[in-house]
Amino acid sequence: MKLFFAFGTRPEAIKMAPLIHEALKQKHEVIVALSGQHKEMVAPFIEFFELKVDHDLEIMKPNQTLTDITVNALTGYSRLIAEAKPDVVLVQGDTTTSFVAGLAAFYNGCKVAHVEAGLRTFNRTSPFPEEVNRSLLGRIADFHFPPTVASAENLKSENITENLWVTGNTSIDALEYTLKKIADSPELQDQIQDSLPRLDPDKRTILVTTHRRENLGDGHREIFRAIKEMIERYPDVEIVFPVHLNPKVQDLVREELGKTSRVHLTAPLDYLSFVWMMNRSFLILTESGGVQEEAPHLGKPVIVLRETTERPEAIDAGCSFLVGTSKEKILKKAYELLDNPDYYKKVSKIANPFGDGHASEKIIEALRDSTLKP
């Protein structure tokens, strides 16, 4: 098969990497085409996962809008797909890059495989624009790879019932690959620790990430003020906060937390360092969908700083907690986990609902075994 992998953001790079490796392992022809949607943030992951990039649309511009991303990526991907004539275009998740690459493939009469299909919040504006992106991809795609039974049921409720396989999430494949790479290299371990803040081994570390468009402004301010109160209440807690590159996030973080002791504001972490920090953490506060999948695999409770989530499996299992951006709700759940060792132990031992680390193998084999003719 000739497989065309289209992606452009950091989460896509992480989740596509094990798929690309598996496709090459099975001797398929692979074309990797970046959109450039998050160019600076993707480059380290391309290097870490040793991916060969065949095309880069380089659409990234200062102050670009969703319209800019959509138009430029659609034009670029349409040209590349028309030239390459792949058997399948693979897209991942719910980014604008994924939706547009899928649309370009559809316009060119090419089959589309949607990795991480079927996630839904059932709220068109939360997250925005991701909820609509993934819903539209569900209508465009020919092959659907939901990570869980629940996401498969979402697709079936939309009358998407053919060419559908529950595979687990490729993020767990990437996590396993990374944990092994770290464990096998003491030099890499030293390198990672040198790149991170010096942490007190006697303190509990809380890892924080925020970046969601819908939380900009008042939502983030509430989150940051909750962090400040947490630090004031617990002398044995310190925060590691890799700050997103969005200037609106950067400015508010510096305003609210820039002078707070035991809060380490860092640049965005490379994937190795971030996995290390997740594994090192006591608790994680995040808006990230990928972290919601990965943290349970490491036995780390997650407080989800969103009003809705397309990954309810971890919420239902009891290892993640959806609290939104209310300072009071964030603190209530954090205090429960910080103050109650038995409860924390119970939560941290809940099995990860997002897969066994073999999703990539299942996806490539399903495509191989499927009839790819119209």
Residues assigned a catalytic role:
94, 116, 130, 211, 213, 244
Distances in Å between the alpha carbon of 357 and those of 176, 294, 306, 360? 7, 11, 26, 8
Name which of 244, 295, 304, 238 is nearest 268 in CA terms: 244
Taking Cα atoms as reference points, which of 40, 52, 63 lies closest to residue 16? Answer: 52
The encoded tokens of residue 303 equal: 């407080």
> What is the spatial distance between Cα 322 and Cα 349, in angstroms, rounded to a whole number?
18
Judged on CB neighbours under 10 Å (0-12, 13-18, 19+), 260 is middle
Look at residues 42, 29, 156, 47 and name the one whose alpha carbon lies nearest to residue 92: 42
Give the E-state strand segments of the chain in sequence order. Answer: 2-7, 29-34, 55-56, 88-92, 111-115, 143-145, 204-209, 237-242, 263-266, 283-286, 302-304, 320-322
- Type of residue found at 133: N
Going 55 to 272 to 274 to 270, the CA torsion angle's sign is negative
Q: Could you give the C-alpha distances from 158 to 90, 137, 140, 155, in angstroms and in order?
A: 21, 12, 13, 5
Q: Is 168 exposed, middle or buried (0-12, 13-18, 19+ CB in 10 A)?
A: buried
Query: Partners of 74 in the beta sheet?
Result: none
Which amino acid type is present at position 104?
A
Beta-carbon count within 10 A of 330 CB: 23
Instruction: Return phi, psi of residue 46, to 5°.
Output: -60, -45
* Residue 24 CA: distances (Å) to CA of 29, 113, 291, 373: 7, 17, 27, 22
Compute the half-sphere exposure of residue 199: CA atoms within 13 Å on the CB side of its CA.
Answer: 27
